[in-house]
Amino acid sequence: MSITLILGGARSGKSTLAQEMADERGGNVLFVATAEAGDEEMAARIAAHQQARPDHWTTLEATTGLGPKVTKALTDQQTVVIDCITLLVNNLFQQRNWPEDADLMDRAVREETAGLIAAMDGATADFIIVSNEVGLGIVPGDPLSRIYRDVLGRANQLLAARADTVYLLVAGLSVTLKG
């Protein structure tokens, strides 16, 4: 069992790399989609991602509570692709009606991340996780955006600490950060 974390900005090639890595490993793949189609533009993005995935992959749509849901869905898959932690954290914010409570959101994201790590530690499959790196830009102008940036950064840190390999993607090019 190995864990690979792929970080990068929007449209940097993270999902493409994750899919290529899963294809190269061969075997059965469980694709965990965390996106929700809240509007037409997001629905179009989700449809494009669905078209890009091989038909024989198993898809699990899970917006939160990934750990137990992945554990339950895993049958004979050798690889699990989770795309993406960024939207998972967004979903946690949405469930709590966007509170401007940094401690509450930090606890919720830490619990979600711990549950996912526990599921990965109990599995025999390889995991490839996609997440955005949102801490490289300017400081967000409002408190809620700063809380989001901070808690996503902490989730990425927890996953990177557990991962065997970590890549950073920029303009479709990967840099190995770990492993």
What confidence tens digit (pLDDT) does each residue in 109-120 have? Answer: 999 999 999 999
**Catalytic annotation present for 49:** yes
| pTM: predicted TM-score of the whole model, two decimal places | 0.93
Strands (E), 43-109: 58-61, 79-83
| More confidently predicted of 97 and 85 | 85
The tokens describing 170, both together, are 């920029």
What confidence tens digit (pLDDT) does each residue in 40-78 have? Answer: 988 888 888 888 888 889 999 999 999 999 999 999 999
For the four alpha carbons of 40, 45, 48 and 53, in that order, the dihedral sign comes to negative
Q: Taking residues 165-176, what's their average pLDDT? A: 96
The CATH number, out of the four listed (3.30.70.20, 3.30.420.40, 3.60.10.10, 3.40.50.300), of the domain defined by the range 17-142+152-178: 3.40.50.300
- Which among 2, 36, 49, 149 is annotated as catalytic? 49
Please state the separation of Cα 141 from the chain's center in Å: 25
